[in-house]
């Protein structure tokens, strides 16, 4: 179980940075950005394995905002195995995951199921349209969530519910909102850079 992926080798002892594209993107969407945000990191960018009318995704859905939960479970297990394999390959002791839209959703689901895999999580416009079970393993995990107040794909009330859930698990949550919709704005990347800063240690 693996993905086609772009890989940028990092320095010895550097973090592993996973980037995950949105619907219709490819592994190239955030790959170069990864090295800009975390210079020297091992950057690994998988390509989604689901084709939705010619648009790549990481899991299936049956409608806008309606997930195929069985396929999400499949994809979550696959992403967890992929991250574990990349950790073993690189020897990285810190893992950062960054995703947009569908990419954010698969990374969020993976962190819910395997909270020990990811140390810092950057989620641009995630949509979690179900009520997750408690996951105390997320306690202390740094999470950035960015969103648009008028996002038609990720409604603000659902984003706020997810933020409240994260905080209830003890995650260290930063949120950044803009006045627009589903578009990714420069200030969101700035918020990511602010969260990342110099890698700890």
Q: Per the residue annotation, which of 101, 114, 119, 125 is the catalytic one?
A: 101
Dihedral angle sign, alpha carbons of residues 110, 147, 23, 17: negative
Beta carbons of 10 and 43 less than 8 angstroms apart: yes
pTM of the model: 0.95
Q: Identify whether 125 is a catalytic site residue.
A: no
Looking at residue 65, its pLDDT comes to 78
Looking at residue 197, its pLDDT comes to 82
Q: Quick check: 175 pLDDT over 60?
A: yes
Rg of the chain on CA atoms, in Å: 15
Q: Identify whether 131 is a catalytic site residue.
A: no
Looking at residue 200, its pLDDT comes to 44
Q: Identify whether 182 is a catalytic site residue.
A: yes
The verdict on residue 201 lying in a domain is: no
The verdict on residue 132 lying in a domain is: yes
- 143-152 per-position pLDDT tens digit: 999 999 999 9
pLDDT category of residue 1 using cuts at 50, 70 and 90: low
Task: Kindly give, in sequence order, each residue whose CB lies less than 8 Å from that of residue 74, ignoring residues fewer than 6 positions away.
Answer: 59
Nearest to 165 by CA among 128, 191, 196, 195: 128
Looking at residue 198, its pLDDT comes to 60
CATH number, position 53: 3.40.50.1820
The verdict on residue 127 lying in a domain is: yes
pLDDT category of residue 63 using cuts at 50, 70 and 90: confident
What residue numbers bound the domain in which 178 lies? 5-196
Q: Per the residue annotation, which of 42, 114, 151, 178 is the catalytic one?
A: 151
Q: Per the residue annotation, which of 35, 49, 176, 182 is the catalytic one?
A: 182
- 6-57 per-position pLDDT tens digit: 999 999 999 999 999 999 999 999 999 999 999 999 999 999 999 999 999 9
Total count of domains within the chain: 1
- For residue 120, the cross-strand partners are 96, 142
Residue-level length of the chain: 201
The verdict on residue 65 lying in a domain is: yes
């Amino acid at each position: 179980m693996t993905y086609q992926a772009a890989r940028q080798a990092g320095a010895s002892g550097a973090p592993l940075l996973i980037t995950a594209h949105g619907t219709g993107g490819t592994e190239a969407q955030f790959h170069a950005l990864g090295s800009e945000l975390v210079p020297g990191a091992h950057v690994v960018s998988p390509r989604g394995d689901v084709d939705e009318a010619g648009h790549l995704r990481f899991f299936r859905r049956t409608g806008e905002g309606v997930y195929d939960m069985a396929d999400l479970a499949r994809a979550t297990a696959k992403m967890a195995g992929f991250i574990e394999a990349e950790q073993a390959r690189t020897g990285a002791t810190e893992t950062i995951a960054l995703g947009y839209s569908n990419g954010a959703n698969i990374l969020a689901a993976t962190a819910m199921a395997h909270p020990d895999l990811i140390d810092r999580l950057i989620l641009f416009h995630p949509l979690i349209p179900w009520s997750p079970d408690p996951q105390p393993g997320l306690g202390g995990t740094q999470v950035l969530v960015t969103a648009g107040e008028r996002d038609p794909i990720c409604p603000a009330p659902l984003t706020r519910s997810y933020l409240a859930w994260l905080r209830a698990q003890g995650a260290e949550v930063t949120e950044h909102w803009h006045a627009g919709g589903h578009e990714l704005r420069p200030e969101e990347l700035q918020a990511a850079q602010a969260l990342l800063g110099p890698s700890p240690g």
